A and B are shown apart, each in its own frame.
Chain A
Amino acid sequence: MERLTFTYAGGRPATRNAKATLAGVVGSGNLEVLVEPVAQDGAVTIEVTTAAVGFGRIWQAVMDDFFARHGLGDLRISINDVGATPAVVSLRLDQAIETYLGGGQ
């Protein structure tokens, strides 16, 4: 297992709905994404626990694009991953954010 953390600054605070949201399941080739509101000067922190070791560079690229796509801030995002492909990771992140912005689980 490997733990990775990513931090992005300067996002647009998205705390309209201050309710935590979960997307996905911790199953093979899948992951769960927990999105929580945190007041931290617009920063986004992302913590990943993954069963697939050695893909830090790819996670970084996926997260860079995710942040560029949504530009949100004041979020804590926590991920438990069991070897999901980047496509699945991006999909779950988008689903989690969409639910988060859309008003809860």
Chain B
Amino acid sequence: MLQQTAPATAPSCAPSSAPAARDWNTQARNREARLARAAPLARGKVVKSADAAALLEAILETGDRVCLEGNNQKQADFLAKVLAGLDPARVNGLHMVQSVLALPEHLDVFESGVASRLDFSFSGPQGARLARLVSGGQIAIGAIHTYLELFSRYFVDLTPRVSLVCAQAADRNGNLYTGPNTEDTPVIVEATAFKRGIVIAQVNELVDTLPRVDIPADWVDFVMASPKPHYIEPLFTRDPAQISDIQVLMAMMAIKGIYAPYEVNRLNHGIGFDTAAIELILPTYAESLGLKGKICRHWALNPHPALIPAIEAGFVQSVHSFGSELGMEAYIRARPDVFFTGPDGSMRSNRAMCQAAGHYACDLFIGSTLQIDLAGNSSTATLGRIAGFGGAPNMGADARGRRHASPTWLKAGREARAGRNLVPRGQKLVVQMVETYREHMQPAFVETLDAFALAESAGMDLPPVMIYGEDVTHILTEEGIANLLLCRTDEEREQAIRGVAGYTPVGLGRDKRAVENLRDRGIILRPEDLGIDKRSATRDLLAARSIKDLVRASGGLYDPPKRFRNW
């Protein structure tokens, strides 16, 4: 126990000008005071779920910075519910610092008055409600971050005072097993525990012996078994049945027009159907081009079920993941050479590490977006929704601090710098892959991003641009690939973008002669320029055309969530 002493007072004989001895231990003593208040509720570190509200009231103080673990997939949903149900007369003014706002409770705390300030990364499903609460003055947003930025600030000026996390299981000492969906837990707990904060974990079960220890008990103050297992969203499962022939065509263009010439081996994919199509034609189309062993060997990627055929075909050597994916547990366990797994055999993911890997260790990011403007800036922001960023801006940005070379990185750098008097360096490939029109005839290319209007209406410092045009190296549509690395002027860049923008107003506004000129120079590549016969672009190329095919490809190891089945 900490020595309980009264605040130091200056001895009466000391000169009045001498500085008072500073107390260097206020955080630790504050922590002890909180623990003392909570002590009656705990047996060791174990608290009953029925006492969860009492525990939070004992621990929390007005204005605390609180991290409520809301991940991309795993949610501390029980603690979220308890927090949202607290009496704002007793707990209020909390400053929430969490990566994802996924559950209604994540915003209920603001509506009830328990919390008032917010720093976050992504709010996908709650984006519209968040916008309403912000405009109604119930939430003051500090900043909208990328994952890496928010995690970084946990160690600088946004360190949580109290963290409410979730794990698969705990033992009686408070050791945690986070299981395959480790996600944000390590970074949250590390920042909190080593700054004398308090860590409370909800777990699906209390056990005598854990399969492995992901978070040591020393860093955890309280554990409780939640009434129901925490919710996990199968966010990365794409049913191959929904992939269109046009997406297959675009996937062929990505492989033949980008992956092959740049020898892309370290990469990250977005979560859309476009990139799932690439994963699914590796064993067929890429194999037929003789690219096995030459591309796509190392991935920073969640365990996409769509990657199974490529893994089985021997394309993939390693996959490190931000989080796991429901149904992939047994498959991952059976492929330890490929995935990061613990001594118990189950996966260990880590969002912060994988984000860093995606930013610094990958040579290519490819993903989709909702809007691209004439400068190549892209955004998923739409009016009336504050959706945030997640990880895409870090993955989809040239890592300017990078120093190690690779053939991919060097080739991109050469293309960007050819003919200019610049010091040699490489560049990351950042590819935006979009159909020119989304469903309901929404054009993917626009003169001005909705993000600008949103920034104005929501009073943001900057428009929420997901990927800056200056970082984008290629834009790939069903009409062609625009290689922006080779553009030398803003005018060329604009025409290169217009030249693959199809029949959107932006595309129709092209200067046809300029576009033909760019095509002659290889800045714009049409499918026929790549030697791709559009007629061969059919779903027949997909190594799996249904979820069931993925189960077959996995040898029965993949166990898809029931909503994806048709058997």
The interface of chain A, by Cβ under 8 A from chain B, is 29, 52, 55, 57-58, 61-62, 83, 85-88, 91, 94, 98
Query: A62–B503 contact, CB under 8 A?
Result: yes
Q: What CA separation (Å) do A98 and B538 show in the bound complex?
A: 15
Query: A91–B441 contact, CB under 8 A?
Result: no
Q: What CA separation (Å) do A57 and B479 show in the bound complex?
A: 18
User: Could you say which residues of chain B place their CB within 8 Å of the CB of A87?
Assistant: 246, 435-437, 478-479, 502
Query: B246–A88 contact, CB under 8 A?
Result: yes
148-207 of chain B: CB within 8 A of chain A: none
Q: Which one, A55, A61, A85, A94, contacts B534 given CB within 8 A?
A: A94
CB distance from B441 to the nearest CB of A (A): 6
Task: Give the top 9 A-B pairs by smallest Cβ distance, nearest first.
Answer: A86-B503, A85-B437, A87-B478, A58-B503, A87-B246, A61-B503, A52-B441, A61-B508, A29-B439
| B478-519 interface code vs A (CB 8 A; 1 in, 0 out) | 110000000000000000000000110000100000000000
- 17 A-B pairs (CB sep. < 8 Å): A55-B441, A58-B503, A58-B508, A61-B503, A83-B440, A83-B441, A85-B435, A85-B436, A85-B439, A85-B441, A86-B437, A86-B502, A86-B503, A87-B437, A88-B246, A91-B246, A94-B534
413-445 of chain B: CB within 8 A of chain A: 435-441
Interface size on B, residues (CB 8 A): 17
CB distance from A30 to the nearest CB of B (A): 10
User: Could you say which residues of chain A place their CB within 8 Å of the CB of B441?
Assistant: 52, 55, 83, 85
CB distance from B438 to the nearest CB of A (A): 8
Which secondary structure dominates chain A's binding surface?
helix
Query: A86–B436 contact, CB under 8 A?
Result: yes
User: Could you say which residues of chain B place their CB within 8 Å of the CB of A57?
Assistant: 508
CB distance from B479 to the nearest CB of A (A): 8
Is B535 in the interface zone, CB < 8 Å from A?
yes
User: Could you say which residues of chain A place their CB within 8 Å of the CB of B244?
Assistant: 88
User: Could you say which residues of chain A place their CB within 8 Å of the CB of B478?
Assistant: 87
Q: Which one, A58, A62, A86, A98, contacts B535 given CB within 8 A?
A: A98
CB distance from B439 to the nearest CB of A (A): 6
CB distance from A93 to the nearest CB of B (A): 12
Is B245 in the interface zone, CB < 8 Å from A?
yes
Q: Which one, A58, A62, A91, contacts B245 given CB within 8 A?
A: A91
With contacts A61-B503, A83-B441, A87-B479 known, what are 5 further pairs, Cβ within 8 A? A85-B436, A85-B439, A85-B441, A87-B478, A88-B246
User: Could you say which residues of chain A place their CB within 8 Å of the CB of B436?
Assistant: 85-87
User: Could you say which residues of chain B place their CB within 8 Å of the CB of A94?
Assistant: 534
Q: What CA separation (Å) do A24 and B438 show in the bound complex?
A: 19
Give the residue among A29, A61, A85, A88 with the most B Cβ atoms within 10 A.
Answer: A85
Q: What CA separation (Å) do A61 and B438 show in the bound complex?
A: 18
CB distance from B7 to the nearest CB of A (A): 71
Residue of A nearest to B442 (CB): A85
Q: What CA separation (Å) do A58 and B436 show in the bound complex?
A: 12
Q: What CA separation (Å) do A55 and B439 show in the bound complex?
A: 14
CB distance from A58 to the nearest CB of B (A): 5
Q: What CA separation (Å) do A87 and B439 show in the bound complex?
A: 11
Q: What CA separation (Å) do A21 and B14 show in the bound complex?
A: 104
User: Could you say which residues of chain B place their CB within 8 Å of the CB of A98?
Assistant: 535
User: Could you say which residues of chain B place their CB within 8 Å of the CB of A58?
Assistant: 503, 508
Q: What CA separation (Å) do A98 and B534 show in the bound complex?
A: 12
Q: What CA separation (Å) do A61 and B501 show in the bound complex?
A: 13
CB distance from A96 to the nearest CB of B (A): 13
User: Could you say which residues of chain B place their CB within 8 Å of the CB of A61?
Assistant: 503, 508
CB distance from A102 to the nearest CB of B (A): 11
Residue of A nearest to B503 (CB): A86
CB distance from A63 to the nearest CB of B (A): 11
CB distance from B500 to the nearest CB of A (A): 12
CB distance from A99 to the nearest CB of B (A): 11
Q: What CA separation (Å) do A81 and B440 show in the bound complex?
A: 12
Give the residue among A52, A61, A62, A86 with the most B Cβ atoms within 10 A.
Answer: A86
Residue of B nearest to A55 (CB): B441
CB distance from A83 to the nearest CB of B (A): 6
